[in-house]
Amino acid sequence: MTASTEIDKPVRGWRFWAPRLATSILVPVLLLGIAEGALRLFGIGFSTGLTVPCTMQGRPASCYNLFFPAPFFPPGMIKTPQAYAIPAEKPRGTFRIFVLGESAAMGDPDPAYGFSRYLEVMLRERFPAMKFEVVNTGSVAINSHVLLPIAKGLANERPDLFIIYSGNNEVVGPYGPGTALTSSGMSLPVIRTSIFVHSTRLGQLLTKVGTQKREWGGMEMFLDKQVPEQSPLMQQTYKNFESNLRDTVAVARSSGARVIVVTVATNLKDCAPFASLHREDLAADALRSWTALVKQGSDLENGRAYAEGLKNYFSAVQIDDQYAELEFRIARCLWMLGDYRAAREHFLRARDLDTLRFRADSKINDINRSVAVSSSGAELVDADEIFAKESPNGIVGSELVYEHVHLTPEGNYLLARAMFTQIASKLPKETGQAPSLQDGSIPSGVLSQTECEQLLAFTPHDRLRITREMLQRLQKPPFTNQLNHSDQALRLTIKASSPDESPDETVAEYQWAIRKKPDDRILHYNFGLFLFDYNRAAAAEQLRMSRPWDGFPVFAPDGTPIE
């Protein structure tokens, strides 16, 4: 056999196998492409792009696509933001702001009074020569895996600023290790591939055939999805969050817009952990000793012998330092003894150890800070630090956060004011002089909370309505499982028992605000809901005026469609 014959063997082998390998790959891809094209041609399935064409008062716009969340939620459980539309025309002198985030960014429990609404009226009143469009895309139960496609969908809408307030749902949201919505524990490339597949018409068809329809069950759905701090899945979660956040900032910056990344403020003092787990290697004898020490410490704490109770608690920590509720007990005792610096550390530790991870932990906020500082063109608003400075003894509690993450009116105003300062300092010169700062932090000329709430028609009636709604939420798990549930419920019960204002006063407040901003559809919507019990015809008229785009279906509180 000659040398050339030996060399030719692998060459002939490659020539033999290469076409076959190519065929085995290309043919299935081609068939899938044909099937996908056929489904689209015959109108089977739906687009999952962020927006679809629509009209606002007869003018072209991009309106929110109600099917956009489909790749991230099981059938029957799709969660959507407040419907919005973006005008195709952007007149000169318009400053367009997009808010990205979860339910806290959306403004839950009522988006009409979220921080984006406070920010909008602050900017509008301080800089009347410029028009501000603030579009809040925040939504319940989403996380950074959803925010990136949202940013991509908005990048072509000529934004001037993106505000990113996220991190609470990285574990429990889509593809997180503690989710009840999708598969979990996957690497980022696998997750993005899954999202792409579920966005196709073929993926939709397979999902429809192979997935049983489910109903949304609120936070109770996640009760069996505990994830301890030491779980290897948490490291993957942090890595995914950082990658998604960096990519989201990059997409936003590529559009030419400014980007503000905001750390997440959470309730530390008045929100006990939702669930706790012992360390995995805790022996039975050690567990009995731990339980006895905690019981003794609890009895002493209840008897106001806080220093003695702490001794027992600290002895228990030597046995097991992974139990979140124990850290919360320690923090409470230190608070009562006036050692607020140590109390804060243990409140933080209790949150970070919480195994039902509905709150952004310290590492999530560290990532927010790191990305804001290291990404070209990004800016930081450290809400976590700002809220701590404005809280009693430097520890965030129910004064600024209702339960675990959703902001009170005071919290929303505080966050909006911080963003106003950041935004106003870099507005184009034609908007007017930027506000000066007093004592290095509070801008002069910015509206007070009372002035904002008058313009938003945040009436005493609405404040009472929201308080009662929050009280109802606290009557369900996982809130009922918290160590301090009775304290939380009592606090809201007292506020919810306040007398309501007269209907005439509420009507007058809405009418005043609408005269100031006649085209504010959210004002019309809430006014229509209020009027429904008093004047159905007037309510229907207000609800008609609240349509985000032409043809959008509007319903009365009893489910009756408004023509």
Q: Is the pLDDT of residue 142 over 80?
A: yes
Sign, CA dihedral 14-16-21-27, equals: positive
Q: Which of 298, 322, 353 is the last residue of a domain?
A: 353
What is the arithmetic mean of pLDDT over 457-477?
A: 97
368 and 333 fall within a common domain = no
Chain mean pLDDT for the chain: 91
Looking at residue 38, its amino acid is A
Query: Tell me: the pLDDT tens digits for 66-95?
Result: 999 989 988 878 888 889 999 999 999 999
What is the arithmetic mean of pLDDT over 114-133?
A: 96
Helices (H), 232-339: 232-254, 284-302, 306-319, 324-336
Q: Measuring CA to CA, which residue among 55, 152, 59, 53 is closest to residue 100?
A: 152
Name residues whose C-beta falls within 8 Å of residue 397's C-beta, 6 or more positions apart in sequence: 267, 268, 269, 270, 391
Query: Tell me: the pLDDT tens digits for 26-67?
Result: 656 666 567 657 756 666 778 899 999 999 989 999 999 999
Q: Is residue 365 part of a domain?
A: yes
Name residues whose C-beta falls within 8 Å of residue 539's C-beta, 6 or more positions apart in sequence: 528, 529, 530, 531, 532, 556
105 and 177 fall within a common domain = yes
Angstrom CA distances, 521 to 71, 83, 542, stand at 29, 11, 9
User: Residue 222 has which token pair?
Assistant: 């996640």
- Name the region of 93 (left: φ>0; alpha: ψ -120 to 50; beta: rest): left
Q: What is the CATH number of the domain that holds 67?
A: 3.40.50.1110
The pLDDT value recorded for residue 212 is 67
150 and 26 fall within a common domain = no
Q: Is residue 308 part of a domain?
A: yes
User: Three-class SS of residue 201?
Assistant: helix
The pLDDT value recorded for residue 438 is 42
288 and 258 fall within a common domain = no
CB atoms closer than 10 angstroms to residue 212: 7
User: Cα–Cα distance between 64 and 75 in angstroms, integer?
Assistant: 19
317 and 300 fall within a common domain = yes
Give the pLDDT band of residue 552 (cuts 50, 70, 90).
very high
335 and 375 fall within a common domain = no
Distance of CA 4 to the CA centre of its chain: 67
Q: Are 406 and 113 in contact (CB under 8 A)?
A: no
What is the arithmetic mean of pLDDT over 477-490?
A: 96
Task: Considering only residues 17 and 123, tell me which one the structure prediction assigns the higher pLDDT.
Answer: 123
Q: Is residue 470 part of a domain?
A: no
C-alpha R_g of the chain = 27
Q: Is residue 367 part of a domain?
A: yes
Q: Measuring CA to CA, which residue among 315, 318, 331, 238 is closest to residue 279?
A: 318
Q: Is residue 458 part of a domain?
A: no
Q: Is residue 389 part of a domain?
A: yes
85 and 21 fall within a common domain = no
Sign, CA dihedral 442-446-450-453, equals: negative
Q: Is residue 306 part of a domain?
A: yes
109 and 208 fall within a common domain = yes
Share of residues in the chain with pLDDT > 70 (%): 89
Q: Measuring CA to CA, which residue among 103, 102, 166, 89 is closest to residue 133?
A: 89
User: Cα–Cα distance between 161 and 257 in angstroms, integer?
Assistant: 5
Kind of pairing between the strands at 85-87 and 59-64: antiparallel
Q: Which of 327, 353, 379 is the last residue of a domain?
A: 353
Q: Is the pLDDT of residue 428 over 90?
A: no
Angle at 183 between CA 220 and CA 186, to 5 degrees: 125
Kind of pairing between the strands at 437-438 and 378-381: unpaired
User: Residue 315 has which token pair?
Assistant: 């002895």
What is the arithmetic mean of pLDDT over 497-505?
A: 94
DSSP-assigned letter for residue 73: S
The pLDDT value recorded for residue 437 is 46
Q: Which of 412, 434, 451 is the last residue of a domain?
A: 451
How many domains, the chain? 4
Q: What is the CATH number of the domain that holds 305?
A: 1.25.40.10
What is the arithmetic mean of pLDDT over 501-507?
A: 96
Q: Is the pLDDT of residue 2 over 70?
A: no
Phi, psi for residue 9 in degrees, rounded to 5: -60, -55
219 and 336 fall within a common domain = no
Task: Considering only residues 15 and 314, tell me which one the structure prediction assigns the higher pLDDT.
Answer: 314
368 and 424 fall within a common domain = yes
Q: Are 248 and 152 in contact (CB under 8 A)?
A: no
Q: Measuring CA to CA, which residue among 439, 373, 386 is closest to residue 415?
A: 386
Give the pLDDT band of residue 204 (cuts 50, 70, 90).
confident
Please give the residue range of the domain that contains residue 552. 503-562
Q: Is the pLDDT of residue 20 over 90?
A: no
Q: Would you call 520 exposed, middle or buried from its count of C-beta atoms within 10 A (0-12, 13-18, 19+)?
A: buried
Angstrom CA distances, 376 to 250, 259, 383, stand at 8, 10, 21
The pLDDT value recorded for residue 1 is 47
The answer to whether the predicted template modeling score (pTM) of the entire model surpasses 0.75 is yes
User: Residue 10 has which token pair?
Assistant: 């692998």
522 and 379 fall within a common domain = no
Q: Is residue 235 part of a domain?
A: yes
Q: Measuring CA to CA, which residue among 61, 166, 17, 24 is closest to residue 106?
A: 166
387 and 263 fall within a common domain = yes
User: Residue 443 has which token pair?
Assistant: 């801008």
Distance of CA 433 to the CA centre of its chain: 33
User: Cα–Cα distance between 247 and 195 in angstroms, integer?
Assistant: 16
